[in-house]
Amino acid sequence: MKRILIVDDDEQFRLMLRRVLEKEGYEVHEAVDGRQAIASFRRLRTDLIITDIIMPEKEGVETIVALRQEFPTVKIIAVSGGGRNAPGDYLLLADKLGAQVTMEKPLDRARLLVEIKDLTNIETV
């Protein structure tokens, strides 16, 4: 069973995404910010991380950079509903810093599931 870590400060978003992913057969873990996500990933080594960009404490871009430095092969999907800037601005930065996939909220569930399947079926060397 593939394991996914959802990182988002919005409890309702995490719950919705958890339900979708568990229904598809994934084991799901959660973190409320980047600090908690990095600690969880060190412990769990999930197959994929789905992280929001705008969060308190350690936000998504910082989290992507830290994860890439410590775990260069980690698979990351970055999501954003925006903030002071348009979501695309944050996602462009996330892409440049190492997220394999970026998506705007609200998420397209069908596309998300295809991206997850593609990323979790790629074996790292």
Structure tokens at 55: 């969060």
Describe the strand order of the beta sheet including 27-31 as a list of residue ranges.
27-31, 3-7, 48-52, 76-80, 101-104
Helix (H) or strand (E) holding 77: strand 76-80
Kindly list the distances between the CA atom of residue 100 and the CA atoms of 19, 37, 42, 57, 91, in Å, as whole numbers in the listed order: 23, 17, 20, 23, 11
Tens digit of each residue's pLDDT (9 = 90 or more) over 12-48: 999 999 999 999 999 999 999 999 999 999 999 999 9
Pairing mode, strands 27-31 and 101-104: unpaired
pLDDT of the residue at 89: 84
Structure tokens at 12: 């309702």
pLDDT of the residue at 125: 35
In this model, does residue 82 exceed pLDDT 80?
no
Q: How many whole angstroms separate alpha carbon 55 and alpha carbon 53?
A: 6
Structure tokens at 10: 């919005």
How many C-beta atoms lie closer than 10 Å to residue 10's C-beta? Answer: 15
**Domains in the chain, start-ordered, CATH in brackets?**
3-120 (3.40.50.2300)
pLDDT of the residue at 123: 56
Structure tokens at 6: 């959802």
Which of 2-11, 58-67, 80-89, 103-112 bottoms out in mean pLDDT, i.e. has the lowest?
80-89
Tens digit of each residue's pLDDT (9 = 90 or more) over 46-59: 999 999 999 988 99
